[in-house]
Amino acid sequence: MNYRDLFDLSGKSALVVGAGSGIGRAVAAGLADFGARVVCADVHAQTAEAAAAEVEERGGTARAVGVDITQEDQVRDLIGGLDALDILVSTPSINVRKPLLEVTAEEFQRVIDLNLKGSFLVMREAGKRMAEQGSGSLIFFSSIRAQVVEPGQGVYAATKAGTLQMIRALAAELGPRGVRANAVAPGVVETPLTAQIKNRPEWYRAYAEKGALGRWAQPSEMVGAVVYLASDAASFVTGSLLFVDGGWTAVDGRFTPPL
C-alpha cells in the first residue's frame, strides 16, 4: 500500500451543504483539490454558484444547487436527485447570543429549526442513501459548544450537542452497513457567523487568547479534518468528535500561574 493514496478522493462524489461561504466554501474547494466531484449546496443559490465556480477555477469539478435544509421536501429532492453520494459534509448554523432567560420562543425555534432539525433531515436522507449502497462518510459540523458553554450560548450549545449525539447514533446504526458518521468541533473561526465578535476588538482578542495557539482559525484550517474523515485514512474512524479548536478545550482558563 502507498499510504499517500489514503487521502486520494478521486472518483468520489461529495455534497457540501453550506458551501456558499465560510467553512463550507473552503471545504468544497479542499475536497475538490483531493479529487472529489463536488456539489455545492446553499440556501443562497448565488453563493453556491460562486463556490462551484471557484472549484472549477482551481481545476476541479463542481456544480451548484440551492437548498433550504429546514424544508423536508427540498432535502429529499436534493439527495435523491444526486447521481452518486460518497461524502456528505454539512456546515450550516445560526446563533442567537442572549441569556437563556431572554431568548424568545421564536428565536429558540429558529435556531433549532436550522441547526438541529435541518441537520437531522440531511442526516436521515443521506444516511438512507449511503446505507442502501453500503458505503459513505457523513461529516457534520458540531462545535466546542457541544462540550463547553458560556453565558449566551445555551440554545446554540444544545443544538451542537444534539448534532453530535445524532451522529453517534448514526455511527452505531449504520456501521454494520459500511457507513461512517463523524463530527468536527471547531473553536473560534473567522466566518460570517462570528462577524459580531470580530467587530468588537476586546471580545475578539479575549477569544483568541483563550486557545493554546493564541489566535482565531481561518476556514481553510478546517479542510484537513474533513478530508481526513472523508478519506480512507479514516476508514476505522466513526462516531468521533474531532476537535479543531486550537487547544481551546484542552486549556483551563488561560491563566498563566507564577510557577
Residue 202 is placed in which grid cell? 476586546
DSSP 189: B
- Residue from 156, 204, 207, 228 carrying the catalytic annotation: 156
- Buried b vs exposed e over 217-249: b needs ≥16 C-beta within 10 Å? bebebbbebbbbbbbbebeeebbbbbbbbbebb
Beta-bridge partners for 15: 39, 88
Q: How far is residue 235's CA from residue 239's CA, in Å, rounded to a whole number? A: 12
Where b means 16+ CB within 10 Å and e means fewer, 122-131 reads bbbbbbebbb
| Under 8 Å between Cβ of 141 and 93 | yes
**Residue 186 β-bridge partners:** 244
CA dist., res. 58 & res. 64, Å (int): 15
- The DSSP string of 103-144 is --HHHHHHHIIIIIIIHHHHHHHHHHHHHHHT-EEEEEE--G
Q: Reply yes or no on whether 156 is catalytic.
A: yes
Rounded Cα–Cα distance for residues 19 and 52 (Å): 9
Please check whether residue 87 is in contact with residue 36, taking contact to mean a CB–CB distance below 8 angstroms. yes
Catalytic residues: 156
